[in-house]
Amino acid sequence: AIQRTFSIIKPDATARNLTGKINAKIEDAGLRIIAQKRIHMTKEQAEGFYGVHRERPFFNDLVSFMISGPVVVQVLEGEDAIAKYREVMGATNPENAEPGTIRKEFAESIEANSVHGSDAPETAAQEIPFFFSDDEIVG
């Protein structure tokens, strides 16, 4: 089925001018970028967005990293978009990512791993409206 997923190009990737190269991998996989904006997250936004990880030992570092520079937030649409984008991203830890994936080619570490993508339809349904209003999404 046609799905939508939420994506973030993280500060390590914007710092290295990789937005276009990452977008090319997204589009080459058949996903359409139907919303996109470059923002600098506030601490409150990052804490809210990653709220499910609040009790994890890496939470504070993760929030600091996500507000360390600009990010590009996106909505991607396509056939099985959630699973497809997870394939395109590769494993969370770039050491475990398959060749050709965004994280294998570009990520620096498990924290500075260049991109985020929703892990399930319920997550996408929460994450998309966290950053986008309906009129900003043009399918």
Residues acting as catalytic residues: 116
- Counting residues that bind ligand CMP (by CB under 6 A) gives 8
> In this structure, how many other beta carbons lie within 10 angstroms of the beta carbon of residue 92?
16
**Residues 94-113 close enough to bind ligand CMP by CB under 6 A:** 110-111, 113
CB of 58 to ligand CMP, least distance (A): 4
Residue 123 marked in a binding site: no
d(CA 122, CA 128): 10
Name which position in 42, 58, 87, 96 contacts ligand CMP (CB under 6 A).
58
Determine which helix (DSSP H) or strand (DSSP E) holds 34, and give its type and residue range: strand 32-39
Q: Which residues pair with 8 in a beta bridge?
A: 73, 116
* CB nearer ligand CMP, residue 37 or residue 64: 64
Q: Is 123 in the site for ligand CMP (CB under 6 A)?
A: no
CB of 110 to ligand CMP, least distance (A): 5
d(CA 33, CA 139): 8
Q: Is 86 in the site for ligand CMP (CB under 6 A)?
A: no
CB of 53 to ligand CMP, least distance (A): 6
DSSP 26: H
H helix runs in the chain, sequence order: 11-15, 19-28, 43-49, 59-66, 81-89, 102-106, 121-131
| Residue count of the chain | 139
Contact footprint for ligand CMP (CB under 6 A)? 53, 58, 62, 92, 110-111, 113, 116
Which residues fall in the annotated binding site for ATP? 10, 58, 86, 92, 103, 113
